[in-house]
Amino acid sequence: MDVVATKLYRWERRPLRHLDPVLLISVLALGIVGLVTIYSATHASLVAQEIDPGFFLKKQLAFVTLGIVVILVAASFDYRFIKVYAGIIYVASLALLVLVRTPLGTTIRGSQRWFQLFGFQLAPSELAKLALVAMLAAFLSQLRSSDLSLPDLYRATAIAAVPGFLVFLQPDLGTSIVLMAILVGILVVAGARARHLGVLALTAIVLIFGALQLGLVKDYQIARLTAFFDPQNDPQRSDYNRTQAEIAIGSGGLLGRGYLKGTQTNLDFVPEQHTDFIFTVIGEEFGFTGAIFVLMLFALLIWRAIRIALLAKDPFGTYLAAGVASLLAIQMFVNVGMTLGIMPITGIPLPFVSYGGSSFLTNCAAVGLLLNIHMRRLT
């Protein structure tokens, strides 16, 4: 190999040459969809309160900008460092989850999940998602055999169960579900046997049943869940959100009612419509066409994540990418499914679209990791 060829080869392999433009475009597109819909969801009530109608739009724009920085930062260093520090990150995230239960944490709407820091709300459960992805990837990539043994499966489950349980206590059922989905996603890719996964599911069912029996689940969570399973028989009216969300999406029809013209949205009938229920705005104002477009963006994003898992040069990268793919897919599915009435209401934001910094930046970091793995697949 001559010098020029070697240089060319090296140049060819430089990480910056291997950004994934499709991945970036899909994330950016979702972010823009978010900005557009957040404005629609919030301008009317802001005007009513005589506040700048672009208030939330501007804040989200700042988050998007910050998110791009986060993506770049997360892609800049070699992701294999994460494997080295995975243990420390994991333990630190657990410590924060414990700490948030102390008076240092802030309670918002009956749920103690945040640290108030320099005017920002920091949710350790967001960090826990990434930490779990990293820890599981690190743990599983060290194993020698290509198939996963049952004891290892239990170890991996234990790794996920600790933060899962801490988050569940906050209470934050949604994030618990996300953490468990990350576990299942990575386990599938790591070669867990279907039979073992079945045993795991059975154990989970027993534990959930136990939790209900011991009163660990708050009443409102049970009410929401029973409303989901039996919407007709609901004395608490806890299916109000669900009904209003369905009306909003259903009334959108094939082409939607037009931007800023959704009555469900503009007249505040759907609760939390710029955060958890943002998809109802898309459904109402842009219709089936708009909703499918947004789902296609997510499909694109997750396809790229799976592709990166396939292309990764080491098992750690594969598991890391698979974990991120699980993270994004489950959040998207639970959130959209909730607005469509096929999943319980759990309070999970729609990645990149819902208003809010914490979740947006976490997801950007995750995408940054994907990019990181993709860029360094050849070095």
Three-state SS at 266:
helix
CB neighbour class for 288 (10 Å; exposed up to 12, middle 13-18, buried from 19): middle
Smallest distance, another protein to C-beta of residue 185, A: 6
> Segment 179-198, which members bind another protein (CB under 8 A)?
185, 188-191
Q: Calculate ∠ Cα 271-349-88, nearest 5°.
A: 145
Site membership for another protein, residue 357 (CB under 8 A): no
* Beta carbon nearer to another protein, 124 or 341: 341
Query: Mind giving me the DSSP string for 143-189?
Result: -SSSSPPHHHHHHHHHHHHHHHHHHHHTT-HHHHHHHHHHHHHHHHH
Cross-strand bridge partners of residue 105: 115
> Segment 307-346, which members bind another protein (CB under 8 A)?
309-315, 317-318, 322, 325-326, 329, 332-333, 336-337, 340-342
Smallest distance, another protein to C-beta of residue 302, A: 6
Residues 329, 233 contacting (CB under 8 angstroms)? no
- Tokens read off for 287: 């219709």
Site membership for another protein, residue 161 (CB under 8 A): no
Tell me how many residues contact another protein (CB under 8 A): 53
* Beta carbon nearer to another protein, 226 or 251: 251
> Segment 231-250, which members bind another protein (CB under 8 A)?
244, 246-250
Smallest distance, another protein to C-beta of residue 72, A: 26
Site membership for another protein, residue 295 (CB under 8 A): yes
Largest CA distance in the chain: 79
Site membership for another protein, residue 350 (CB under 8 A): no
Q: How many CA atoms lie within 13 A of 206 on its CB side?
A: 6
Name the residues that contact another protein, by CB under 8 A.
146, 185, 188-191, 244, 246-254, 263-264, 267-269, 283-284, 287-288, 291-292, 295, 298-299, 302-303, 306, 309-315, 317-318, 322, 325-326, 329, 332-333, 336-337, 340-342
